[in-house]
Amino acid sequence: MGNEKDKSAWAVGGTTLIGIGVGFIFLKTSVLYFMASILIGIGTGLLIACFLSREKRSSS
């Protein structure tokens, strides 16, 4: 059961870091692009975590 939570946390954390990395590229262009890329990273991580938990429930 703890392993499922770990995968979700890794998914959210990893995509958030990807969003921050992409945001640093856009930081010279606009701060709003930076913030948007962070929010997109968090949202993508939450979607992946949702699908991971759904897949885990259906296989059990």
For residue 25, with 0-12 CB atoms within 10 Å meaning exposed, 13-18 middle and 19 or more buried, which class applies? exposed
Predicted confidence at residue 19, as pLDDT, reads 94
**In the chain, where are the structural domains located?**
2-59
Predicted confidence at residue 37, as pLDDT, reads 96
State pTM to two decimals: 0.78
Residues 6+ apart with CB under 8 A from 20: 37, 38, 41
Predicted confidence at residue 22, as pLDDT, reads 95
Q: How does pLDDT run across 3-57, given as a tens digit for each residue? A: 555 678 888 899 999 999 999 999 999 999 999 999 999 999 999 988 888 777 7
